[in-house]
A and B are shown apart, each in its own frame.
Chain A
Amino acid sequence: KQEVTQIPAALSVPEGENLVLNCSFTDSAIYNLQWFRQDPGKGLTSLLLIQSSQREQTSGRLNASLDKSSGRSTLYIAASQPGDSATYLCAAEYGNKLVFGAGTILRVKS
C-alpha cells in the first residue's frame, strides 16, 4: 500500500530559526513529490514540486530535497517568520493520483 508519513506532527520554533520537516513514502515508484501549505480553514497551496529525476528544488527561503532510493523528502525553511505558521503537507504522485501525508503543524513564535 502506498503511504506517506510526516514527522514531526507539530513543531513550535522561535522566529528566525532554521527548521526541517520530514516526509517518507513507502513506494519509491513516484512521479513527483510536492510540498503544500494549508492555512487554517483554507485549501492547499503548492509550494514546491520535485520531479523524480531531481534531487532538490528551491523557492526563496524554502528548499526541498528528494531521495527516492530511501523514500524520503525534506523541506528546509530558512530564517522562519511568524507568517510561516501553517500546516505543511507532502504528497507523492503515483500515476493520476496524489497520496498525502497527515501534515506537520508549524508555529513560529515572534
Chain B
Amino acid sequence: NAGVTQTPKFRILKIGQSMTLQCAQDMNHNYMYWYRQDPGMGLKLIYYSVGAGITDKGEVPNGYNVSRSTTEDFPLRLELAAPSQTSVYFCAVGAGPDTQYFGPGTRLTVL
C-alpha cells in the first residue's frame, strides 16, 4: 500500500523542454491536487481534480496542464519549461480538501 507516489524525485530541464510529473495513488480517493513550493514560501495550488474527468485551475495554473482519466493518476504537464518553474512540486490526495495526504515531492530545476 504505497499511498501517494510521485515520479521522478529530481529532474533538471533545459529552457523550452517539456516533461510530465507523475502522481499516482492507491487510496481510492477522489480529490487530487498539484502544488508548487518555492524556497521560503508556502504551497501554491496549480490544479486540482474532484474526480476522474474533472479538473479545475488553482492559483498559479499558467504554464501547466493536467488530465484525470482515472481515479488513480493525475499527471502534471509542463509544455515549455521556464526558469520560473524551478520549484518543488507536491501532489496531494484526499477524500476531501480537509484530508489531504501529500506525496514526497518532485524537485525540478529549469536551466
| A contacts, CB < 8 Å to B | 4, 6, 9, 31-32, 34, 41-46, 49, 89, 91, 93, 95-103
Q: Count the B residues whose beta carbon is within 8 Å of the partner chain — how many? A: 24
Q: A42 CA to B106 CA in the complex, in Å?
A: 10
Question: Main secondary structure on chain A at its contact with chain B?
Answer: strand
Q: Shortest distance in angstroms between B32's beta carbon and chain A's nearest beta carbon?
A: 11
Q: Is the CB of B42 within 8 A of A44?
A: no
Question: Main secondary structure on chain B at its contact with chain A?
Answer: strand
Q: A96 CA to B45 CA in the complex, in Å?
A: 11
**Residue B56 at the A interface, CB < 8 A?**
yes
- Which residues of B sit under 8 angstroms from A4, Cβ to Cβ? 42
| B contacts, CB < 8 Å to A | 4, 31, 35, 40-45, 48, 50, 56, 58-59, 90, 92, 97-100, 102-105
Q: A59 CA to B62 CA in the complex, in Å?
A: 39
Q: A29 CA to B41 CA in the complex, in Å?
A: 23
**Cross-interface CB contact of A44 among B41, B44, B90, cutoff 8 Å:** B90
Further contacts, 4 of them, CB under 8 A, given A4-B42, A102-B40: A6-B42, A32-B98, A42-B104, A96-B56
